[in-house]
Structure 1
Amino acid sequence: MSAPVTGCRLAELTDLTPLSATTTCPDPAGAYARLRETWGQVAPIELVPGVPAWLVIGYREIRAVVRDELRFSRNSGLWSPLRDGRVGPDSGLLPIMAPRENAYFSDGAKHRRLRAPLYDGLAGLSEQRTARLIRATCDRLIDRLPVEGPIDLVASYAAQVPMLTVAGLFGIAPDLGERLQACVIALFGSGDDAQALFGEMQTILTGIISAHRAAPAADLTTAFLDHPNHHNDAEVLASMLLTLGAGWETTQVWIAQTLRIMLTDSRFDAQVRGGHLGIDDALDHVLWTDPPMANQPTRWATSDTVLASQHIARGDALILGLAAANTDPWAGAQDRIDTGNRAHLAFGIGLHACPAQRVSRLIARTAVETVLHRLPDARLAVPAAEVPLHPSPWTRGPAHLPVTATRTRS
């Protein structure tokens, strides 16, 4: 076996592996292993044709990056391809990587100021009230499923549960929630329609902010508007976009991935249904083996530096390979069901770790429990190999999950 290729610079490299090849392939662990064998713990990849980036696939290296904002910033204004025009104004990458006035794209004091409304708003939610909302949403969606024929557990359930729940928490009507869902899907697809639908998402949320200014309510939108750390409505909008986009997409993929593994892995399914594996342990197993946010954008190098023997230039983008880090041999690749282990990186770590972990876990746990209770004999209606994946370079999950099932009473 030859030694990994190190000492490289992005500007010198061509014919790179597309980032989406790690999320749309049948064996992502194998794809990351090949990158690690070729390049080491930091590998060059291509975001879209002509736009390279570094994919950090080492567990220790990701921890080093996220804990050093002096060298690796969240400020996407540093991004060289954006500054030199290789990423144009119509690029599908911009909705998820362009600078925003929110906590995600900030460092230091500004990050702490803009993170506080997210943390305080979510912490202020009543867990009992939120749980009732989620349970009612799950039961209502199960009640609406067709009695005969295959059921798509993604389109009709997994994607709907977080959409309707988060919309309800923000005081957003279900019909607008469904439209926002389409916008979020486009955003994480980073395709040709991402820009247009991101603009539509901003327009919808601007209207919701205006309505709540005129008529405050006991919901997250009003909590964001009233928080002293938000200096204007533009910052409120940016925080809503962040909460809806990041929380919504990853939670629905988490639910869908858990259901997919239960439907395709008989051992896993039997342990969950038999009560030998708790729902939270099952959810954590998915976060280890196939986390919904496989590749997390982004850190940008503030100066020329070295990481895992690769030469990182100022303005280079570094994508955090969360799924890859979970399979890093140094971390003990998770090829078994390991209960109680939450050292995975699925929620991120450090100052930018996901502030909505409690709510997203509550949504995912309730959604999976409801399927076990209401659709006890659910079976895939197609061979496991024919379950399609979302065409996203960032998240990895089934686009559809057709099943046959007998619906029981709630």
Structure 2
Amino acid sequence: MTSESPTPTDAADSAAGPPPECPAHALGPGGVHRLYGPGAADLRSLYETLREQHGPVAPVLLHDDVPMWVVLGHAENLQLVRSPTQFSRDSRIWTPLRDGAVKPDHPLMPHIAWQPICSHAEGDEHKRLRGAVNGAMTTIDFRSLRRHINRYSQMLVNRFCEEGEADLVGEFADHLPMAVMCELLGMAREYDDRIVHAARDMLKGTETAIASNQYIVDALGRLAAERRARPGEDLASYLITHPAGLTDEEVREHLRVVLIAAYEATANLLANALRMVLTDRRFRAKLNGGQLTVPEAVEQSLWDEPPFSTVFAYFAKQDTELGGQRIRRGDGLLFAPAPGNVDPRVRPDLTEGMQGNRSHLSFGGGPHECPGQDIGRAIADVGVDALLLRLPDVELACPAEELRWTESISSRHLVELPVVFEPREQQDVFQKPSLHALPRQRSVWEISTGDGRPSVPGSAAQPRPPVPVEPALPPEPVARGGAWQRLMRWWRGD
């Protein structure tokens, strides 16, 4: 039966309620909950309140009290993304945008505004653009990709390994995905702290989000122009030379989507997987004992902490119904993996592990399912493995309950993950990683003298310089090993 709850359009038409600037109220016009401001500090709790009040689909308000629906149910989210005849990603049909209620400087405009990209296209145009993206993705050599990921992981660990302490968010998880994606796109020289900050800022919906977005767009525009003149062996070049014939604008915008979506999703995924390993001793024991693999740990994290809380947005192409709510033509709907993944109809007991189950919503579904999810998984898998191999004794430096998150409508980001460990020397990033530095090799049989200097029988007391020798290959790993198994997987390039 159709619900009688107020629709977003009804809420927008109502004049009741406190003004948007009032910090003391979490409700907007018509008593509809805001997804911004003081009342949205804990969106997880708010989503559960909305689920209790409205069921699997609930009316909400975005910044400036712009009406929207948020889809809370697992099945309803899948129905949303798998029904292209009913719901579109083309924001040009969104009623508030057509009516002028969404201003050009709206903080969420970088997410909402229509762009010439496959995720906003339909029909033949979607096939053309998506085909170019998929074609570029198929050129990725995942063996080489994993080597790049490991090398950048070693470089990042080298920055703090001698200190004995670090913040694994600010010094590792926030940087590794950006470094890898810049390498894949062909813009390795652009990787620095500034581009990391810009990518993070534009996703927060802050006052500087539009300027940060422009910084990213400018960098990608330079890349597209360079590769148009001199193609190379990178994703930008493959997009440009694909038979689909993408324009410079289409190339730039697709590079932006690939860069930002992969960066944010993987930075959150990497941080959450590390947090899980560090805060749950049972989980760490299973991982070290071989009962659980890093990829399985990553999948569990995708259930519990999806990289994107919501995705902007889908729009109704016709009057329809979803989750018992009447959806009007032109209404906007947020695809919401965070509340969908904890739908009690799918996960009645959240303490139960989801090992072996990949039916989470973290990478979307339907025609617009994330094309780069294997890249994200590879970065998280190799990154976690490499860090634990270098720092096997790493421990959380504070009580788990003191960890904090910053939260926006689009994502929930761990602020910091402070850890401590035994200080270690830096390693050559082009060499295979090891737990310890190799000991000095002896050229001949040596006997220790009383003064601590080695002597060789039949020769003077002065020791001979060691002759370099090839290090022995490590022994075969045991069937269900921990560190050795991970080392051998990396050694083979798996």
User: TM-score under structure 1 normalisation?
Assistant: 0.93
Which residues in structure 2 correspond to 1:15-164 (within 5 Å)?
15-19=31-35, 25=42, 28=44, 30-145=45-160, 147-148=162-163, 150-164=165-179
Counterpart contact for 1:62–1:320, Cα < 8 Å = yes
Aligned residue in 2 for 1:203: 218
Cα RMSD (Å) of the superposition? 2.2
User: Per-residue deviation at 1:219?
Assistant: 0.8
Matched, 1:12 2:10: yes
Q: Which amino acid aligns with 2:122?
A: D
How far 1:24 moved relative to its partner? 5.2
Judged with a 3 Å threshold, the aligned counterparts in structure 2 of structure 1 residues 186 and 124 are, in CA distance, closer, same or farther, namely same
The answer on 1:372 being equivalent to 2:370 is no
After superposition, give the CA deviation of every residue in 1:282-306 in whole Å (9 maximum; x if it has no partner): 1111111111111122101112222
8 A contact 1:374–1:407 mirrored in 2: no
Give the 5 Å matches for 1:375-394. 375-394=391-410
Would you say the 8 A contact 2:303–2:354 is kept in 1?
A: no
Q: Is the 8 A contact 1:4 1:40 kept in 2?
A: no
Instruction: Give the equivalent residue in structure 1 for 2:229.
Output: 214
Q: How many residues align?
A: 406
* Counterpart selection for 1:309 from 313, 318, 324: 324
* Cα pair 1:23 1:396 within 8 Å, conserved: no
Secondary structure at the counterpart of residue 196 of structure 1: helix
Bigger proportion of residues as helix: 1
Whether the 8 Å CA contact 2:163–2:423 is kept in 1: the answer is: no
Q: Identity of counterpart residues, as a percentage?
A: 33
Structure 1 unaligned regions, length at least 5: none
Provide the C-alpha distance between the structure 2 equivalents of 1:4 and 1:151, rounded to a whole number of angstroms: 53
Per the TM alignment, residue 22 of structure 1 is displaced from its structure 2 partner at its CA by 10
Is the aligned partner of 1:283 residue 2:298? yes
Q: 1 CA distance for matches of 2:400 and 2:151? A: 30
| Alpha-carbon distance in structure 1 between the residues aligned to 2:372 and 2:40 | 24
* Contact 1:117–1:227, Cα closer than 8 Å, also in 2: yes
1:184 to 193, 199, 205: 199
Residue 331 of structure 1 aligns to a residue whose secondary structure is coil
Instruction: Measure how far apart 1:232 and its partner are.
Output: 0.9
Alignment partner, residue 297 of structure 1: 312
2:240 maps to 225
Tell me by how many angstroms 1:269 deviates.
Answer: 2.4
Larger RCO (alpha carbons 8 Å, 6+ apart): 1
**Could you tell me how far 1:370 is from its partner in structure 2?**
1.3
> Which secondary structure does the structure 2 equivalent of 1:111 belong to?
helix
Q: Partner amino acid for 1:372?
A: L
Unmatched tracts of structure 2, length 5 or more: 12-28, 428-432, 434-494
Q: Which amino acid is 1:44 matched to?
A: P
Provide the secondary structure at the position in 2 that maps to 1:298: strand
Say which is worse superposed, 61-70 or 232-241, in terms of deviation.
61-70
Match for 2:8: what amino acid? L
Corresponding residue SS for 2:363: coil
Instruction: Work out whether residues 319 and 329 of structure 2, in 8 Å CA contact, stay in contact via their aligned partners in 1.
Output: yes
| Post-superposition offset of 1:166 | 0.6
Structure 1 range deviating more: 298-307 or 277-286: 298-307
Q: Pick from 262, 284, 287 the counterpart of residue 269 of structure 1.
A: 284
Aligned partners of 2:34 and 2:65 also within 8 Å: no
Aligned partners of 1:236 and 1:386: how far apart in 2?
A: 43
